Every structure is written in C-alpha cells, then in structure tokens.
Amino acid sequence: MAAAGLAAADLWALQTGRRQQVRVNARAAAAALRSSRYLQINGEKPAEDPEKITGFYQLRDGRWMYLHCNFPNLRDRNLAVLGAPKQREAVAAAVATRDGLELENAIISAGGIGSLVRSEEEWLELPQMHAVAGLPLLEIIKIGEAPARPLPGGSRPLSGVRVLDLTRVLAGPACARTLAEHGADVLRVTREDLADFGLMDFDTNVGKLSTHIDLRNAGEAETMRSLIRDCDVFSQSYRPGTLARRGLSPEALAELRPGIVYVTLNAWGHEGPWRERRGYDTIVQAANGMAWQPDGQRPAFLPYAAQDYVVGYLLAYGTMVALGRRVREGGSWLVRASLAGAGQWIRQHGLLDPSQYAHLPAELPPEELQSLLMHHDSPVGRITHLAPVVQMSETKTRWMRPSVPRGFHQPVWPARE
C-alpha cells in the first residue's frame, strides 16, 4: 500500500515538480486486507447464503478437499462431477467416497474448481510451485513502441487517467479501486449474464463507473474497442487466453492503443502446468499449504484474503510505475502478477509461533474500527466501508463516485477534469 502511494507521489512530482509525504497506518492496513468484512448496506452486513456449498469436505482417506462453489456455473460443474444435489450433506457424502487427487483432476477436467488441501511440503514438490518460484513477484514489460505521453493533468496524480476494469472478486477490483483513490476514471466492464461477487462488490466498486458489454455481440465488441482507443489502462483477470480469443491480448491492444498499460492477473502464474487453471485466493491457499492444519484437523484459511489484496495493491503500484515510464520514455507496457506468486512471497516471510499472537484479539477495538470507516449514499442505499488507508500530504486520497450496481452506466468515458 505504501509502495502504491509512493508511485502516486512520483506521478504527482512528474506533473508539478512537488514531492509529498506518504503515510500508512499499519493497523488500518491490516483491516484493509479483509476490507469486504466491514461492508454494510443501510447498516446491515450482506447476508450469507444459507445454502452455501463452498467449503472443506473430508475425503475417503480422512484428508480434505476444498470446493469453490460461489459462482453458479462452477458450482453446477462441481456437483455434476460428484453426482450430488445442491445440499451440503449430499456433497459431503459424495466427497467422502472419493480420493483427493482423483477428484481434483475430475473437477478440473470438467471445468469446475476445487483443490486437494495440501501441506506446504507437498506444495514444495509440485512442478507448479517451481514455476511460480522462478517468476518475479511483479513484472513490468515493454510490449510496444509509442511516443512519450504526459499525464492528462489535474488536481490529483491520476486525474484524467482512464482505466478499463475487466476484473472480478477481489484482487483486480482492489487494484482499480486504488487507482480511483488517486483520481483515475475507472470504468468497470462486466457481462450481464456472468456471475459476480454479489453485494460484496459494493466494497471494491466504490469510486467506479460500471457498464455491461457482451463481446459476443459484434456491435458491443466495437464499443469495447472504441473505449480502448481512448483509455490509458486496461486491467483484466480472466484466465490466460480468454480475452486473446476475442482479440484483446496485450499485443493486440498495444497496436490498437499505442501507449496502453495492460494489467493482467491470474491465479497460478503464466508458466507451469497449472497456468491455465481457474483459481481464487481460497483455492491457492488450499493448494500451497496456507490452509493446512496438522493431524488431520479441519483446514482453515488465513483470517484475511492476503494473496488477493497484496496482488491488488501490487498491481496498482506496477500500473503507476508503468504510467511513469510512459511519461519518461514512451512505450506500451504489460504489468502482471499472480495469486500464487503473492502466496510464495508471503510464505517466504515465515510463520509466527502461535504463542506470539494467541493473546491478541480477533478484531480491532470498536472505537478504533469506527475511526477507519466512512459512509456514502448510493443507488442501493447508505454504504459503510473502510476509508482509503494511504494518506498523501498534498493530494488527499478519496473516491469521487459512489458504488453502484453492475451495468448502471452507459459505456462512455466521462469528460476529463
């Protein structure tokens, strides 16, 4: 988070010649790593699905399987492999008859998503771990030539910078939300029939415009290309190759919009046998040992989506560094990172002994938490959420727009400041 703030300060200095101080409250930053937990709409937290299938299930040999069923299409594929109805008890009974690797492979082959819960030692033996370990945490790569281009200019570091946000769930949306904190015009693009994160999206969508575009429709695909021609940043988190098949690869966009910054995130990295697999923070935690508990105990995730948010802030940092390079030397740029890469980086910092944190409370004191929250009115009511964590001495971090439902706006850019 501090690095992203420093990158914003560097862009401000490029425009004005003035430096500014960047401050981060570490306790607020800790809360931000589980930001969606604090979301309220009209004073109420979004309700959990009472029929939620997502979770850990015990296998035939006593080990554990994690099934990600938050999206209906993926849930239905998982259930089809198990031959089970949408009932937790039936799913548990079906998983209890299967072996872990066999079930994981069957689910992946069927286009579903799940993971055998592995120990760290098992993860360290996998070819995918070695592929991830050989990649940088963050890459910023020049992918095309373009003349040097100054920033649009305005009252904040990213004023007038246009960002197309084709991301879902947490990491990608958190990246774009961070850019909006510093003044960027962010247009989130979804498709009406695609499943989303539900009400939790109102947390990561603050500060953004939101529209629907269906790339299967020729007219709407041309609308997308028109938006790209006038954008500065294109951010996406679909599986590798998904958008390339629609003509939206990094190389294609560098030709369509010379000087573009193309930001891409995937689960497992762009190399290795799992590079095209689906994945979310929880799936990666299940696979890389983070969720493992000794002696056959029920697995447990970290109390925050560490990989998601670390990658989100990291990609925001990389985006602003690439924009700075565009000012100084020109070019089109690719910025990429992965959840598994973030997990590798986090794990390299080692573990605390449980005695070092056993006495600590599970949550910030209520009065401290209240000081970190803010409120705004939106089309769905009064939204309560965490305020920006990074504090800038000259250009205050803030969001200019309320969080809105998906598809709320027309697919057009607003006038620049």
**How far is residue 167 CA from its own chain's centroid?**
7
Residue-wise pLDDT for 69-109, tens only, equals 988 999 999 999 999 999 999 999 999 999 999 999 999 99
Q: Residues 116, 287: contact at Cβ < 8 Å?
A: yes
Q: Is the pLDDT score of 417 beyond 80?
A: no
Give me the pLDDT at residue 50, please: 67
Phi, psi of 335 (to 5 degrees): -120, 125
Q: Is the pLDDT score of 51 beyond 80?
A: no
State what percent of residues in the chain have pLDDT above 90: 88
Q: Which band of pLDDT confidence, cut at 50, 70 and 90, is reported for residue 263?
A: very high
With 0.75 as the threshold, say if the pTM is over it.
yes
- The closest alpha carbon to 152, from 189, 182, 188, belongs to 182
Q: Residues 135, 271: contact at Cβ < 8 Å?
A: yes
Residue-wise pLDDT for 185-202, tens only, equals 999 999 999 878 778 899
Give me the pLDDT at residue 96, please: 98
Q: Which band of pLDDT confidence, cut at 50, 70 and 90, is reported for residue 295?
A: confident
Q: Where are the domains of the chain?
A: 2-47+132-273+302-392
Give the CATH fold of the 2-47+132-273+302-392 domain: Rossmann fold (3.40.50)
- For the chain, the first-to-last Cα distance in angstroms comes to 26
Give me the pLDDT at residue 242, please: 86
How many CA within 13 A on the CB side of residue 86?
Answer: 13
Backbone CA torsion sign across 376, 382, 34, 168: negative
Q: Is the pLDDT score of 327 beyond 90?
A: yes
Give me the pLDDT at residue 343, please: 96
Q: Cα separation of 271 and 228, whole Å?
A: 27
Q: Which two tokens stand for residue 146?
A: 């373009």
Q: Which band of pLDDT confidence, cut at 50, 70 and 90, is reported for residue 268?
A: very high
Rounded to an integer, the average pLDDT of 285-309 is: 92
Q: Is the pLDDT score of 402 beyond 80?
A: yes
Q: Is the pLDDT score of 47 beyond 80?
A: yes
Burial per residue of 284-303, b for 16 or more beta-carbon CB atoms within 10 angstroms, e otherwise: bbbbbbbbbeeeeeebeeee
Residue-wise pLDDT for 9-31, tens only, equals 999 999 999 999 999 999 999 99
Give me the pLDDT at residue 257, please: 97
Q: Which two tokens stand for residue 25?
A: 């409250």
Rounded to an integer, the average pLDDT of 109-124 is: 96
Q: Residues 188, 205: contact at Cβ < 8 Å?
A: yes
Residue-wise pLDDT for 242-262, tens only, equals 898 999 999 999 999 999 999
Residue-wise pLDDT for 357-374, tens only, equals 889 888 999 999 999 999
Q: Which band of pLDDT confidence, cut at 50, 70 and 90, is reported for residue 413?
A: very high
Residue-wise pLDDT for 369-390, tens only, equals 999 999 999 999 999 999 999 9
Q: Residues 209, 186: contact at Cβ < 8 Å?
A: yes
Average pLDDT, the chain: 95
